[in-house]
């Protein structure tokens, strides 16, 4: 027997359901398009001591940036305010503490009574415009696009930093355009102040930068005041638990102004949901009296092999990082416990990083 359906009732029910779905979709769309204000950052501190060199008054440290203080030491407080609109937004990224001062070392223009500049608290300060789904313009001060490591200790696996990171620029001030080329390809072009001049220009010269990316692998280029750097940064998931990061770079200055070349590998193994162990193995060499390793031979050339073993344990929003580091230089860049020159240094540290 054919079932008799009350079509009027069904139509009314369908109309009500459609109206409810429309209102829900409209509400979700309105919620998604609503501008978002986010407040985040990190706080970090650490303990560092030398095993093969003196501590205290005669303490020394590796020739790379950050994590170079003696005993119980402060990293920085990093406070980030970000506003994300449908098309435009901004990021104000402020740093306070020794690590922050090291990261903004060349921003001394507007001095205060203590001798520091207002730029010394600005890690990043930029506005952006999503011109389309494929093009974003960024204007202001932004962290560098070169290299595997970054300023934020929460975003690096190792707490101490590499020579490659330390020798390259930390941040730039200028205008950059990022392009989504589709099929996992991307590109970037930038016009900026000369390297490390992040608060103002003061020279009349400008730097240019470019990047080509594919599926998490990036080839970077930077030209600034006669210096040219090419950098490769990438990594591969070799298994579900094993990741290998890679960074290689070469820099040369015109008219024998110095050069450096380096490569670093970052194998990392997740042994559990909350613990990963990783190694950074880096070989770095400099030429023509570039001079930041700490000592140079008669020809102005020197090199260093640095091996850093780090554990990373996560407890909620807190990350604990024990680390042992061995630096071996071609020249007597360090001293031993008897204050005699030596080419090697062994040190350990323990860091705590809280992210919010």
How far is CA 8 from each of CA 3, 62, 72, 299, rounded to the nearest angstrom? 15, 81, 78, 94
- Write out the two tokens for 46: 């650490």
Q: Which of 72, 85, 79, 15 is nearest to 45 (CA)?
A: 72
8 CB contacts (<8 Å, ≥6 apart)? Answer: none
| CA dihedral over 317, 318, 320, 321, signed as positive or negative | positive
- Model confidence band, residue 305 (pLDDT cutoffs 50, 70, 90): very high
CA distance 203 to 206: 8
| CA dihedral over 198, 63, 289, 227, signed as positive or negative | negative
CA distance 75 to 316: 20
Q: Which of 262, 235, 264 is nearest to 250 (CA)?
A: 262
Q: Is the pLDDT higher at 12 or at 335?
A: 335
pLDDT in tens, 47-87: 999 999 999 999 999 999 999 999 999 999 999 999 999 99
- Model confidence band, residue 11 (pLDDT cutoffs 50, 70, 90): very low
pLDDT in tens, 85-131: 999 999 999 999 999 999 987 666 655 545 555 567 999 999 999 99
CA distance 193 to 101: 20
Q: Are 134 and 180 in contact (CB under 8 A)?
A: yes
Domains of the chain by start residue, with CATH: 38-355 (2.40.160.10)
3-state class of 317 per DSSP? coil
Total count of residues recorded for the chain? 356
CA distance 20 to 32: 18
Annotate 90-117 with DSSP letters as a single string: EEEEEEESHHHHHHTTT--SSB-TTS-B
Mean pLDDT of 228-240: 97
Q: Which of 220, 284, 218, 289 is nearest to 253 (CA)?
A: 289
Beta strands in the chain (DSSP E): 36-50, 71-84, 88-96, 122-130, 135-143, 171-182, 185-192, 207-214, 217-224, 227-237, 242-253, 259-270, 275-287, 302-315, 318-329, 334-335, 341-342, 344-355
- Model confidence band, residue 290 (pLDDT cutoffs 50, 70, 90): low
Bridge partners of 38, per DSSP, are: 82
């Amino acid at each position: 027997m054919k079932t008799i359906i009350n079509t009027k009732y069904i139509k009314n029910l369908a109309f009500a359901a459609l109206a409810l779905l429309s209102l829900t979709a409209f509400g979700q769309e309105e919620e998604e398009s609503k501008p978002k204000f986010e407040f985040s950052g990190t706080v970090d501190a650490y303990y560092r001591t030398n095993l093969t060199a003196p501590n205290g008054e005669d303490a020394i440290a590796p020739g790379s940036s950050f994590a170079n203080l003696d005993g119980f030491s402060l990293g920085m407080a990093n406070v980030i305010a970000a506003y994300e609109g449908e098309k435009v937004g901004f990021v104000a990224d402020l740093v306070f503490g020794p690590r922050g001062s090291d990261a903004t070392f060349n921003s001394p223009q507007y001095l205060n009574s203590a001798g520091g500049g207002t730029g010394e608290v600005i890690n990043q300060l930029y506005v952006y415009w999503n011109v389309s789904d494929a093009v974003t313009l960024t204007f202001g001060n932004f962290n560098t696009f070169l290299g595997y490591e970054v300023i934020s200790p929460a975003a690096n696996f190792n707490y101490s930093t590499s020579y490659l990171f330390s020798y390259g620029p930390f941040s730039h001030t200028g205008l950059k355009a990022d392009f989504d080329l589709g099929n996992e390809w991307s590109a970037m072009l930038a016009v900026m102040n000369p390297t490390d001049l992040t608060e103002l220009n003061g020279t009349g010269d400008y730097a240019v930068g470019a990047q080509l990316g594919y599926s998490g692998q990036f080839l970077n280029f930077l030209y600034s005041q006669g210096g040219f750097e090419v950098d490769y940064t990438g990594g591969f998931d070799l298994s579900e638990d094993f990741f290998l990061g890679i960074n290689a770079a070469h820099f040369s200055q015109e008219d024998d102004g110095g050069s450096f070349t380096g490569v670093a590998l970052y194998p990392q193994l997740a042994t559990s949901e909350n613990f990963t162990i990783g190694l950074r193995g880096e070989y770095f060499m400099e030429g023509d009296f570039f001079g930041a390793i700490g000592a140079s031979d008669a020809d102005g050339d020197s090199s260093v092999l640095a091996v850093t073993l780090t554990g990373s344990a996560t407890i909620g929003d807190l990350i604990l990082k024990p680390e042992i580091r061995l630096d071996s230089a071609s020249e007597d860049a360090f001293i031993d416990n008897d204050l005699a020159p030596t080419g090697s240094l062994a040190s350990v540290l323990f860091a705590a990083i809280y992210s919010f």
